[in-house]
Structure 1
């Protein structure tokens, strides 16, 4: 068997011909061999699905739970710089040894008695579940990768499901019908178990699925709400320094929290996290909630470093949130977008959403089979009469050029893909440490 984490990641990449293969039969069988069905994963398990907003919801669930004294485990994907980011215990990344032990257990189980082929993501998911079950926390928070119903994470029966948003993405796998996409994401729901619906604009199929299952559902704008003296449209951002939350306990009692801090992440998702924790029976206290929201962090999501903002948004829905957030933040100089996207993403839609808040663009090329060349982005920008500063062969080259040509009042938005943000972050870290950054091999490109 492989010995190091990098060797394991390479093995995972090579052992299945496809990066993505939806379906639970193979994962469920290997999970059964691992004994996951008979083991307690955690005292409470929350699964989070959605097109956008999963990562920030998980981050705030985790921070809020820990601020109330709970032990936690989180499983997310993809990672930015290190595979270890995907599995955290009490906010700390899993060690190489923990991941290697999990991979070895999954490998043994999948080969005995007969071999079962698993994808990169499926192997990683089972390894993470195995590691969590070995040290069951008070709360395990699992981010669904793609869709919901057939995603490997759905092999676990969660106590509570959260659906954040539904928009078009991954059309090759999920199609373009939002009602169908909603139905797929609602597949993480379980009969009789509560569901938090984190947007007032979800397709009807989501709530219909909950009703059919007899799963009590709590919808943003009805059973729980966001309010402030100057709340933005659809409660997407905090336009003031504080906001208020009204929610509902599992017993139907009204709950409220006032003067909560802006976490720098979508308030829809903060409100959903609070509602989810209330429904698993956690007694929310104002001081702990303020602490949890203030300390919530998520790399690559509206992440500011001086006058640079990095965000992994890669579809029009995410880009619209970015634009709304940036519009509420005055910029004294130019706002420049370093944009790098994959070929199968809606680049035209992303550009259209960002155009009102961007003064100039620097398109960059992404490598790989699905990588989109900068020239392709330039064509779309020229069609909208946008100013292009130059083209760059990679995100790092583009970032290095910008760093030499910015004025003190300029701002830079780096966005379009996990790969775009990761390469810029890796370049900065390498420059600071004067050592190369190793990300490990990555065949699973679910959300980049």
Structure 2
């Protein structure tokens, strides 16, 4: 091994030093493929066979589906003792350590650095991307901690994502829509094929998309054990029970099993439905009371996350950055307006996006719900320039305010909004991260 590969081991003692090193280690930020990571994983003898592993892919809804399963498994006593549950996800909002949590606690710096050193000593001349390297580090930490359950959120696609070196017990597909087209394809069928690549034979397969592409269903059925394929609206479904302006209850059903009078969740109900099917397929004991308990617990940072100001308007943070996500946000805002039906509530949008996203259709999904737009350019290499953001907004509105940075855009929106109004911050993990830090400090 050449001395250059030992440099981090000799010099880097802080996590931020390691992360800076990893950011410049590989020629491409996104470089799909399993050849490189498999080679290093074999050298490191990566093995998660001690745990029940659930891999979750999809365009939207992965993080909230994982969070609901995490809370349910932590609260489960089916086998007479408490479970240990780990979740690996990306990207993070504020701190890198958020990417791996075990029993709801983020991994510490020391465990990550130890894993980085192991990888650096093992990889030799094999070049790894930032995501491949950090995924291997998470897997090494999990081999030390040995939780009962491991939930792996797929980063991009599925078939060629770094997490797919692991053979999971359960494969989950949340939704399929257009995003990352330059890597995954330009239509739902092609993207669905890539997402379906996480599936294996002799595995529980849960498909939560209400209109799953044929490519996903065909791949699931081709694996031979159709009795272990659970398809939304064919095998499990949800029904509306009662609905008022502010509250609703619903029923979840699979064959003869049903749970009624379920509370309205803080996360998308479709993702709760998918998570419940996963849990039932694993033999977890469920009841309406238990499900409602988990519904109340499950709130996820940056996913329709509400901050209520004591002397100002409500603020909603959401990392949504594609057309499917903003269509969901539009429906969410309609419900939020119903909570103050006589207030003439106005909605202020604070938005900044990455340039490789479908900006036009993402913004169009919200055009009927937003009264005033506040936009800026993110301080990251892939950021959409302010000229592009204004060009896309000008297609349907004249109420556009431009700023040098997203913090300033939010500050002015917050000053101009009235107490009954609402501010939506969305468009990217980077956008939400910048504003969420301010809100937490205040």
TM-score normalised per structure 1? 0.89
What corresponds to 1:75 in structure 2?
88
The one of 304, 308, 313 aligned to 2:315:
308
Q: Could you tell me how far apart the structure 2 residues matched to 1:195 and 1:166 are?
A: 15
Q: Could you tell me how far apart the structure 1 residues matched to 2:203 and 2:189 are?
A: 22
| Residue pair 1:41, 1:129 contacting (<8 A) in 2 also | no
1:264 deviates by 1.0
What corresponds to 2:331 in structure 1?
324
1:131 deviates by 0.8
| Residue pair 2:54, 2:150 contacting (<8 A) in 1 also | yes
| Residue pair 1:191, 1:214 contacting (<8 A) in 2 also | yes
1:258 deviates by 1.9
Q: Could you tell me how far apart the structure 2 residues matched to 1:140 and 1:261 are?
A: 27
What corresponds to 2:191 in structure 1?
181
Provide runs of 4+ in structure 1 moved above 6 Å: none
What corresponds to 2:56 in structure 1?
48
1:241 deviates by 3.4
Q: Could you tell me how far apart the structure 2 residues matched to 1:133 and 1:260 are?
A: 37
| 1:16 matches 2:44 | no
Q: Could you tell me how far apart the structure 2 residues matched to 1:289 and 1:70 are?
A: 17
| Residue pair 1:165, 1:199 contacting (<8 A) in 2 also | yes
1:385 deviates by 3.0
| Residue pair 2:171, 2:206 contacting (<8 A) in 1 also | yes
| Residue pair 1:196, 1:272 contacting (<8 A) in 2 also | yes
| Residue pair 1:319, 1:354 contacting (<8 A) in 2 also | yes
What corresponds to 2:433 in structure 1?
422
Q: Could you tell me how far apart the structure 1 residues matched to 2:99 and 2:34 are?
A: 21
Matches within 5 A, 1:239-250: 240-247=247-254
The one of 266, 272, 287 aligned to 2:289:
287
| Residue pair 2:66, 2:153 contacting (<8 A) in 1 also | yes
- State the Cα deviation string for residues 387-433 of structure 1 (Å, max 9, x = none): 22x2111111111222222211121000011111111112334x44x
| 1:373 matches 2:385 | yes
The one of 221, 224, 236 aligned to 1:214:
224
Q: Bigger CA drift: 361-370 or 21-30?
A: 361-370
| Residue pair 1:27, 1:118 contacting (<8 A) in 2 also | yes
| Residue pair 1:65, 1:292 contacting (<8 A) in 2 also | no
1:222 deviates by 1.9
RCO comparison, higher one (Cα < 8 Å, 6+): 1
| Residue pair 1:67, 1:289 contacting (<8 A) in 2 also | no
| Residue pair 1:67, 1:291 contacting (<8 A) in 2 also | no
Matches within 5 A, 1:337-352: 337-352=349-364
Matches within 5 A, 1:13-412: 13-37=23-47, 39-42=48-51, 44-68=52-76, 69-111=82-124, 115-215=125-225, 216-230=228-242, 240-247=247-254, 254-306=256-308, 307-330=314-337, 332=343, 333-388=345-400, 390-412=401-423
- SS of corresponding position for 2:179: coil
Superposed CA RMSD in Å reads 1.7
1:305 deviates by 0.3
| Residue pair 2:173, 2:195 contacting (<8 A) in 1 also | yes
Q: Could you tell me how far apart the structure 2 residues matched to 1:293 and 1:410 are?
A: 27
1:106 deviates by 1.8
Matches within 5 A, 1:426-441: 426-429=437-440, 431-432=441-442
- SS of corresponding position for 2:20: helix
Q: Could you tell me how far apart the structure 2 residues matched to 1:80 and 1:407 are?
A: 28
Q: Bigger CA drift: 376-385 or 78-87?
A: 376-385
Q: Could you tell me how far apart the structure 2 residues matched to 1:280 and 1:57 are?
A: 15
Q: Could you tell me how far apart the structure 2 residues matched to 1:182 and 1:239 are?
A: 35
What corresponds to 1:438 in structure 2?
none
| Residue pair 2:303, 2:317 contacting (<8 A) in 1 also | yes
Q: Could you tell me how far apart the structure 1 residues matched to 2:165 and 2:75 are?
A: 29
| Residue pair 2:72, 2:294 contacting (<8 A) in 1 also | yes
Q: Could you tell me how far apart the structure 2 residues matched to 1:428 and 1:360 are?
A: 21
| Alignment size in residue pairs | 415
Q: Could you tell me how far apart the structure 2 residues matched to 1:277 and 1:195 are?
A: 12
TM-score normalised per structure 2? 0.90
Q: Structure 1 regions of 5+ residues with no counterpart?
A: 233-237, 249-253, 433-448
1:41 deviates by 4.7
